[in-house]
Structure 1
């Protein structure tokens, strides 16, 4: 299970880096090499997400969506140097619980 979460968080890092690169270029007028970093990062993201151990893409994307939110808040703290507020923390805990339900339930073969 740790490997699965590692893949999701690795993918999230590259998606956020890719999108943030576009943010830097278009919104903050940073040099155009950020576009190259953005394109490469998004390709790595898409490829990495195909390595999760689930049969259906939609389920993988649902889990990833939650990981992306949690990762975005980590980016907010570590890269953009902004503090979390209580709503960030509460929301992240709720989302993480949902991620675990979907991932663990489907990994163990639990069905309706």
Structure 2
């Protein structure tokens, strides 16, 4: 469930932010904001599905998943293949996210 919630949140956030990008930077209709706002609400909902003790840790760990998803968007939606530095950076971010989420805690 954790992976699905994070991936769902990432896709919803990227889609919502892209709707604003399309409106402001690509000169698309302001109607793009309607699905954009709905998508951003879905993003927030998905993060509440993560079973973690503290919201801040959930959001921090989500950051790594978001970075990987943004690079996938770069490739799939914009036609730009991530280079080795993108892959190395994304791997480091996922490792950091795993440490934040699953690192041993005292107390």
TM-score by length of 2: 0.93
**Cα distance, 1:60 vs structure 2:** 0.3
In structure 1, which of residues 75, 99, 103 is the aligned counterpart of residue 101 of structure 2? 103
- Helix, strand or coil at the partner of 1:102: helix
Give RMSD over aligned pairs.
1.0
Between the aligned partners of 2:52 and 2:94, the Cα distance in structure 1 is 18
Counterpart of 1:54 (choices 41, 52, 56) is 52
Where in structure 1 are there 5+ consecutive unaligned residues?
none
| Cα distance between partner residues in 2 of 1:59 and 1:19 | 22
Distance in 1 between residues matched to 2:105 and 2:41, nearest whole Å = 33
Per the TM alignment, residue 66 of structure 1 is displaced from its structure 2 partner at its CA by 1.1
**What is residue 83 of structure 1 aligned with on the other side?**
81
Structure 2, unpaired ranges of 5+: none
Size of the aligned set, in residue pairs, is: 106
Moved over 3 A (4+): none
Kindly state the Cα deviation for residue 31 of structure 1 after the two structures are TM-superposed. Answer: 1.7
